[in-house]
Chain A
Amino acid sequence: MTEVRPEEILIASIAGMLDGLRHVAVGASSPVPGAAALLSRARSGGGLRVSVLGSQAHNFFTDGGKELFDCAGQGRIDAFFLSGAQIDGQANINLVSIGDPDRPKARFPGSFGSAYLYYVVPRAILFRMEHTVRTLVDTVDFVSAPGISEANVYRPGGPYKMITDRCLFTFDKARARFTLESVHPGHTVDEIAENTGFAYDLPDTVPTTPVPDAATLALIRGPVAEQIAEVYPAFADRVFGTARAA
């Protein structure tokens, strides 16, 4: 067997957060979460529904672009994935710009559905594949969606965990604070401290994120790689070497 790739560790780790759920939706620009959702579905024995935005084969919605959001608003989506150009220590996410939004130093695509889904989906899972002090900051420059809300704001959902290319954090909504949960193989607790721009809780012992077992890897490299290639052909080719079937 070839060496386990970092993306495969992340895919398996995220899939573990989804096992037992009923319906997971995957949004734009989310190849690793998409693969994780498809992996969890593959081992759910038919129990998990997955809808991948932009997919023909793995998207059962029939009522247009609004259905995902209506479905989430009713509580029919258990988990969703969000990222940010910046994410801060209170789990605020910024998908818009750096600096003054009217005179931005950098401009990103925009907030997508985050300013809604972050409030209503119970397990909003944050992912950021570049873990640096530039991306994980003390305070975001623009709040696309806040990590926490005032007590009178309807908010059944919110941040659950955050996974990066270096580690996994868990989020405590009551304290509005991240805790380091595990560090991926090849990375260290000290390295996380150096590369994180916000304060977080650090337990006495921090485990290593588990490496997927052989059966899990076979699923990821087989059906999951093929399925995710429909929507993310460049990602699937880079990570799994799938040349997309015409």
Chain B
Amino acid sequence: MTDLLASVEALAARIPDGAKVSIAPDYSFCANALWRAVIRKGVKDLHLIGVPVFGYAGDLLIGAGCVATVETSAVTLGENGLAPRFTAAVKERRIRVLDATCPAIHAGLQAAERGAPFSVMRGLIGSDILARRPDWRVIDNPFGDNDPVAAIPALRPDFAVFHAPKGDRYGNVWIGVRRECMLMSHAARDSLVTVEEVVDGDLTADPLTAPGTIPGLYVTAMAEAAQGAWPQALPGRYEADQAHLARYAEMARTEDGFARYLSETVIGREAAE
């Protein structure tokens, strides 16, 4: 049974120090209300996996001192440029970076979702990404003739974390076309999900919603969080708060500015979410 929790704080309490967590990119379904609760809780040493990249939420977690390792194909604030807390942490060697390329992250998660030891993929050979990933290998295609391919081991996060438009009381979560959230859920040991609203009925019973629904089987715990993606968009529901995101990019350029941002936007916001 999926646990239906009363608050994002209760959901955040499920994430221990050192957890390996997969997160969605800014254009997908970001659980920003939950990440603010994680920062308030003071979680440490997270291993963040971008599926296949991450942005604002990850930069916020890095700046707040919650992260030890990032495994991602990129960290970007889109039109607002470089992610400033990520950049500073790398230059000051406060976090470990496992650089990847997008389909390698997907390949690792796909191996995990089918319980296989690894996936193979094209590309990568001759890149410094591959050269710096001793956990990845080049093997000879057993069905080919002198055909090297890259082997990516199964990537199994402890938690998949995202925010979706709706869930039901059975723990089913509707994600529509944002199927990277489906992949994240399948691959992770547990999925912790916030939803814009908990709806009546069974999302898997309606043939219109069932194909875009993650069955409650995969969803360990869920909490309602209205405006839970803010300041990011929730595609189909509301747009990104562009002015706020631009202001974040500006403030996060310095330690002091970032600290002010945290105190204004994250710390003490508990009542609002």
Instruction: Answer whether A and B are interacting partners.
Output: yes
Residues of A near any B CB (own CB < 8 A): 28-29, 31, 53-54, 56, 61-67, 69-70, 73, 95-97, 101-104, 107-120, 142-146, 149-150, 152-154, 232-235
B82 and A109: CB pair below 8 A? Answer: yes
B123 and A66: CB pair below 8 A? Answer: no
B128 and A142: CB pair below 8 A? Answer: yes
B179 and A113: CB pair below 8 A? Answer: no
A110 and B53: CB pair below 8 A? Answer: yes
* In-complex Cβ contact of A143 among B75, B103, B128, B177 (8 A): B128
Q: Which of B99-113 contact A (CB under 8 A)?
A: 99-104, 106, 110
Q: Is B130 at the interface (CB under 8 A from chain A)?
A: yes
A28 and B74: CB pair below 8 A? Answer: yes
B101 and A64: CB pair below 8 A? Answer: no
A73 and B122: CB pair below 8 A? Answer: yes
Q: Is B247 at the interface (CB under 8 A from chain A)?
A: no
User: A120: which B residues are within 8 A, CB to CB?
Assistant: 122-123
User: A73: which B residues are within 8 A, CB to CB?
Assistant: 103, 121-122
B126 and A29: CB pair below 8 A? Answer: no
A29 and B78: CB pair below 8 A? Answer: yes
Interface string of B144-182 (1 = CB under 8 A from A): 001111000000000000000000000000000111111
B25 and A110: CB pair below 8 A? Answer: no
Bound form: Cα–Cα A154–B73 in Å = 22
Interface string of B53-83 (1 = CB under 8 A from A): 1000000000000000000111110110011
A62 and B179: CB pair below 8 A? Answer: yes
Q: Which of A67, A73, A149, A154 counts the most B-chain CB atoms under 10 A from its CB?
A: A154
Bound form: Cα–Cα A63–B183 in Å = 10
Bound form: Cα–Cα A117–B103 in Å = 9
B24 to chain A, nearest CB (A): 8
Q: With A64-B177, A115-B124, A119-B123 as given contacts, are A110 and B72 in contact (CB-CB < 8 Å)? A: yes
Q: Is B129 at the interface (CB under 8 A from chain A)?
A: yes
A112 and B101: CB pair below 8 A? Answer: yes
Residue of A nearest to B26 (CB): A54
Bound form: Cα–Cα A144–B124 in Å = 9
Stretch touching chain A among B85-93, B254-262, B264-272:
B85-93
Bound form: Cα–Cα A11–B149 in Å = 36
User: A97: which B residues are within 8 A, CB to CB?
Assistant: 90
Question: Can you list 20 A-B pairs, Cβ within 8 angstroms, ordered by A?
Answer: A28-B76, A29-B79, A63-B179, A64-B181, A65-B106, A66-B110, A73-B121, A97-B90, A101-B132, A107-B90, A111-B73, A112-B52, A112-B73, A116-B103, A118-B123, A144-B129, A145-B101, A146-B127, A153-B125, A233-B79
User: B149: which A residues are within 8 A, CB to CB?
Assistant: 154
Given contacts A65-B102, A120-B123, 20 further A-B contacts (CB under 8 A): A29-B79, A62-B179, A65-B51, A65-B183, A66-B110, A109-B53, A109-B75, A111-B73, A111-B100, A111-B101, A112-B52, A112-B101, A113-B102, A115-B123, A116-B123, A145-B127, A146-B126, A146-B127, A153-B126, A154-B147
User: B75: which A residues are within 8 A, CB to CB?
Assistant: 109-110
User: A114: which B residues are within 8 A, CB to CB?
Assistant: 101
User: A56: which B residues are within 8 A, CB to CB?
Assistant: 235-236
Bound form: Cα–Cα A111–B102 in Å = 8
A116 and B122: CB pair below 8 A? Answer: yes
Residue of B nearest to A56 (CB): B235
Q: Is B242 at the interface (CB under 8 A from chain A)?
A: yes
User: A110: which B residues are within 8 A, CB to CB?
Assistant: 53, 72-76, 99-100
A213 to chain B, nearest CB (A): 29
User: B76: which A residues are within 8 A, CB to CB?
Assistant: 28-29, 109-110
Residue of A nearest to B235 (CB): A56
Q: With A101-B128, A146-B126 as given contacts, are A113 and B78 in contact (CB-CB < 8 Å)? A: no
A65 and B28: CB pair below 8 A? Answer: yes
Bound form: Cα–Cα A117–B183 in Å = 21
Q: Which of A31, A53, A66, A104 counts the most B-chain CB atoms under 10 A from its CB?
A: A66
Bound form: Cα–Cα A27–B39 in Å = 31
Q: Which of B51, B72, B90 counts the most A-chain CB atoms under 10 A from its CB?
A: B90
Bound form: Cα–Cα A235–B242 in Å = 13
Residue of A nearest to B242 (CB): A233
Q: Which of A104, A116, A145, A149 counts the most B-chain CB atoms under 10 A from its CB?
A: A116
